[in-house]
Structure 1
Amino acid sequence: MTRNAIIFHGTGGRPDVAWYPWLDERLTARGYRVERPSYPRINVDPIAEFLPGVLARHAVDAETVLIGHSGGAAMLLALLEHLETPVAQSILVAGYATQVNESEEPVLQETYDWDRIRENGGDLYFINSVTDPYGCDATQGRLLFDRLGGTQIIRDEGHFGDWDQRYDTFELVDRLIP
């Protein structure tokens, strides 16, 4: 069975920036079929309108690994809640579940079914930074960990890639994926 990985970029991002192409190459070399979809409307359209298109576009199974960065990680929470089948692993990088700054966050749901997310998320990892400039920080990672369990990893590495922070590789994420 072919293993699948889907890498979701964050708000205002693209699938060809930061560490996403590098991770795609690493996983492909290990036999994964990797998707790096482009979702320019992520965290622009309300999640209730946005999510059905994401669910329809991607097939997931028990061998799938989901990786989300920032707004893409926040979107993973809704995705995991609404999946019909559990995945193998979910990695939320700079993830968050509550309002983190003054910006609107239409990617967030008002409430979450934490039990369902936990059931569908497989091995859950939360990677956050104490120095995240947007508030997707260690406090948000702890909130996710407290509700979902899994593994929380705290770094001091900004937003793990941004318009002003080069982050072309991400060895840690690569090592987390079997």
Structure 2
Amino acid sequence: MDRKAIIFHGTGARPDVVWLPWLRRRLVERGYTVEAPHYPGLNVESITTFLPKVLANHTFDASTVLVGHSGGAALLLAILEHIDTKVDQAILVAGYCTQPNSEDEPVLQDSYDWAAMRANVRDLYVINSRRDPYGCDDRQGRAMFERLGGTQIVRDDGHFGDIDQPYETFELLDRLID
């Protein structure tokens, strides 16, 4: 079976920032087909109109690995709820499921069907930092872990990459992806 990964950047970002290009190269070297779309509407447009566009642009199956950073991880929650198949893995880096700060978060849904999300992923990792400057912290990770299960990983690595936080590689992700 052909392995595929889809890597979703965070709010206001692009697929060529922080560790995203490095992870893409590593997975291609390992034989994955990798998609790293640019979604400037992420967390700008309401999830109710944004999500159908994302779902129409990708196919998901049992060999798909999903990786999302920050707003991209929040997007993964909606994707997992609304796909009609089970994916292999989902890794939510600096993700959140409730308002993490005072900023508007149109990527968040009003409510979630956590059981549907659990049913649509074989293996799930939630990775957050104790000291995230945007509030995408270990408490957000715990909230997702308690509802979704999987594995929660807590680090002290800020936002795992940002304008003022170079984070060119992310070895942990390479090890977690089957």
CA RMSD, Structure 1 to Structure 2 (Å): 0.5
| Unmatched segments (≥5 aa) in structure 2 | none
Aligned counterpart, 1:59: 59
1:154 aligned counterpart, secondary structure: strand
Q: Aligned AA for 1:169? A: T
Q: Aligned AA for 1:32? A: Y
Structure 1 position 2, deviation (Å): 1.0
Aligned counterpart, 2:152: 152
Aligned residues: 178
Residue 84, structure 1, aligned to residue 84, structure 2: yes
What does the per-residue CA deviation read over 1:40-98, in whole Å, with 9 as the maximum and x for residues that have no partner?
A: 11000000000000000001110000000000000000000000101000000001000
Cα distance in 2 for partners of 1:155, 1:97 equals 18
Cα distance in 1 for partners of 2:169, 2:156 equals 16
Aligned counterpart, 1:30: 30
Sequence identity (%): 67
Structure 1 position 121, deviation (Å): 2.1
Q: Aligned AA for 1:95? A: G
Cα distance in 2 for partners of 1:121, 1:143 equals 18
Q: Aligned AA for 2:19? A: W
Aligned counterpart, 2:175: 175
1:88 aligned counterpart, secondary structure: strand
Give the 4+ runs in structure 1 shifted more than 4 A: none
Cα distance in 2 for partners of 1:84, 1:65 equals 15
Q: Aligned AA for 2:11? A: T
Q: Aligned AA for 2:81? A: E
Aligned counterpart, 1:14: 14
Please list, as runs of the form range in 1=range in 2, the aligned pairs for 1:73-112 lying within 5 A after superposition.
73-112=73-112
Structure 1 position 122, deviation (Å): 1.9
1:124 aligned counterpart, secondary structure: strand
Aligned counterpart, 1:126: 126
Structure 1 length-normalised TM: 0.99
Cα distance in 2 for partners of 1:108, 1:40 equals 16
